C-alpha cells in the first residue's frame, strides 16, 4: 500500500481521502486540533499544521514527507473565487513544509484564473507559469500537477441551496466524485507536470440548474453564449468519462 499525503483536510480533502483510503495509507494535515482524534479514529495519520497569511518562523518540513509517494495540496492560494490575490507568505509556508519532496504532487487551483469574459477557455489560454497562485510551486517542484477546479458541488452543495443572482449566466461546476476519479487516474498513471481543467462538460444556465434540482421545468430560451471552461484536454489525455457531466443532475 502506498502513502498519500493530503494537505488541508476540508470538504474536498476529506472526500478524496474517503475514496482512496482502501488503496493508500492516508497522511492528513488539519489546522483544527479538535479534528485530530476523529481523523485518527478513521485510520488517518494526522499532523496539526496551518498555513497562515504571514510567515510562520516555526514552520518545519513535514516529518513524514520522505515516506510519501504522493501529496495533494487542497488549501487555497488564489483568493476568493479564484481572484489573483497575492499570498506569497502563505506560499512560503507551504514550500517550507514540503521541504525537498520528490514524489507526485498535486495542487488544486481554480478555474477562476481565467478572465471573466465570454470565451471557451482551454489550459493554454493561461499558462501556469504566468499565474502567481500556480507558478510559485512549479518553481520549486516542477513535477506538480495543477488541477483547475470548477465550482465544487455534490452532496448538499447544490445551486438550489444558495441565494443566486445572474440566473441567465452559464455555470462551470464539477461534482467532487469526478475530481476524485481524475486524481485516481493521475495517481495510477504517475502523471507529472500536467495542467488540467476539471469541470463538467455541459454548461447550463444557473436557472436551468436550479429548476432541475427543484424538480421544476425550464421554459426559458437556452443560453449558449458565456464564459465556459473546457475539459477537452482532460477527456483526451486521460480517456476520462464524467460520472456527472451535467450540473442539472448533480443531486441524483
- pLDDT at 84 exceeding the cut of 70: no
109 near 143, Cβ under 8 Å? no
Task: Show the domain range for 140.
Answer: 2-158+173-201+231-245
**Residue 208 falls within a domain, yes or no?**
no
**Residue 125 falls within a domain, yes or no?**
yes
Alpha-carbon distance 9 to 6, whole Å?
7
**Residue 219 falls within a domain, yes or no?**
no
Structural domain total, the chain: 1
**Residue 164 falls within a domain, yes or no?**
no
Nearest to 145 by CA among 95, 197, 180, 84: 197
**Residue 136 falls within a domain, yes or no?**
yes
Query: What is the model's pLDDT at position 86?
Result: 64
Query: What is the model's pLDDT at position 126?
Result: 97
Query: What is the model's pLDDT at position 222?
Result: 76
Average pLDDT value over all residues in the chain = 94
| 17 contacts: CB under 8 Å, gap ≥ 6 | 6, 9, 26, 28, 44
| Residue 200 grid coordinates | 463538467
Note the pLDDT tens digit of each residue in 124-166.
Answer: 999 999 999 999 999 999 999 999 999 999 999 999 999 999 9
> For the whole model, what pTM was predicted?
0.95
Q: In the structure, what pLDDT confidence band is assigned to residue 87 with cuts at 50, 70 and 90?
A: confident
**Residue 112 falls within a domain, yes or no?**
yes
Residue that wins the pLDDT comparison between 59 and 1 = 59
| Residue 196 grid coordinates | 488540467
Alpha-carbon distance 168 to 132, whole Å?
31
Query: What is the model's pLDDT at position 41?
Result: 95
| Residue 129 grid coordinates | 507559469
**Residue 214 falls within a domain, yes or no?**
no
Query: What is the model's pLDDT at position 220?
Result: 74
| Residue 95 grid coordinates | 514550500
Nearest to 164 by CA among 222, 208, 113, 109: 208
- pLDDT at 71 exceeding the cut of 70: yes
**Residue 221 falls within a domain, yes or no?**
no
Q: In the structure, what pLDDT confidence band is assigned to residue 82 with cuts at 50, 70 and 90?
A: very low
CATH of the domain at 66: 3.40.50.720
Residue that wins the pLDDT comparison between 97 and 79 = 97
Query: What is the model's pLDDT at position 47?
Result: 96
Amino acid at each position: 500500500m502506498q502513502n498519500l499525503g493530503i494537505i488541508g483536510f476540508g470538504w474536498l480533502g476529506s472526500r478524496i481521502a474517503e475514496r482512496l483510503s482502501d488503496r493508500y495509507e492516508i497522511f492528513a494535515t488539519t489546522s483544527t486540533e479538535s479534528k485530530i482524534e476523529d481523523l485518527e479514529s478513521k485510520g488517518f495519520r494526522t499532523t496539526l499544521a496551518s498555513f497562515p497569511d504571514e510567515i510562520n518562523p516555526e514552520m518545519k518540513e513535514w516529518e513524514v514527507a520522505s515516506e510519501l509517494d504522493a501529496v495533494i495540496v487542497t488549501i487555497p492560494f488564489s483568493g476568493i473565487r479564484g481572484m489573483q490575490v497575492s499570498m506569497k507568505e502563505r506560499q512560503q509556508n507551504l514550500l517550507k513544509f514540503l521541504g525537498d519532496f520528490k514524489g507526485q504532487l498535486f495542487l488544486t487551483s481554480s478555474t477562476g484564473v481565467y478572465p471573466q469574459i465570454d470565451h471557451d477557455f482551454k489550459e493554454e489560454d493561461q499558462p501556469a507559469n504566468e499565474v502567481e497562485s500556480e507558478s510559485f510551486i512549479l518553481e520549486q517542484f516542477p513535477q506538480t500537477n495543477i488541477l483547475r477546479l470548477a465550482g465544487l458541488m455534490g452532496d448538499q452543495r447544490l445551486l438550489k441551496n444558495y441565494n443566486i443572482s445572474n440566473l441567465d449566466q452559464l455555470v462551470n461546476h464539477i461534482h467532487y466524485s469526478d475530481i476524485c476519479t481524475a486524481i485516481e487516474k493521475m495517481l495510477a498513471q504517475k502523471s507529472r507536470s500536467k495542467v488540467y481543467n476539471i469541470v463538467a462538460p455541459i454548461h447550463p444556465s444557473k436557472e436551468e440548474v436550479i429548476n432541475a434540482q427543484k424538480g421544476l421545468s425550464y421554459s426559458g430560451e437556452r443560453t449558449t453564449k458565456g464564459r465556459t471552461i473546457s475539459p477537452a484536454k482532460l477527456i483526451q489525455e486521460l480517456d476520462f468519462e464524467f460520472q456527472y457531466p451535467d450540473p442539472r443532475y448533480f443531486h441524483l
